[in-house]
Amino acid sequence: MHRDPFAKQWRAGLLLLLLTAAVLNGCAPKEEPFSARHRIVFFGDSITELGVKPNGYVTLIRDSLKSIGADASVTGAGISGNKIGDLLARAERDVLPHRPTVVVIYIGINDVWHYAFASRGLSGTPKQEFDAGLRTLVTSLQSAGARTVLCTPTVIGERKNGANTYDAMLEEYSAVTRSVAAATGSALCDLRQTFTSYLALNNPDDAAKDILTYDGVHLNDAGNRLTAVTMMQTLDGMGLFFPQR
Is pLDDT larger for residue 43 or for residue 119?
A: 43
pLDDT of residue 242: 66
Structural domain includes residue 232: yes
Residue 104, pLDDT above cutoff 90: yes
The domain that holds 187 is classified in CATH as 3.40.50.1110
Region 187-207: mean pLDDT is 98
* Cα separation, 81 vs 190, whole angstroms: 21
User: 108, 118, 189, 201: which is closest to 158 by C-alpha?
Assistant: 201
Q: What are phi and psi of 238, to 5 degrees?
A: -85, -5
Region 2-6: mean pLDDT is 44
Question: At 52, is the pLDDT very low, low, confident or very high (cuts 50, 70, 90)?
Answer: very high
> For residues 108-117, b (16+ Cβ closer than 10 Å) or e, as one string?
bbbbbbbbee
Structural domain includes residue 4: no
Structural domain boundaries, residue 98: 11-25+34-237
Q: How many domains does the chain have?
A: 1
Structural domain includes residue 163: yes
Structural domain includes residue 220: yes
Counting beta carbons within 10 angstroms of the beta carbon of residue 237, is it exposed (0 to 12), middle (13 to 18) or buried (19 or more)? middle
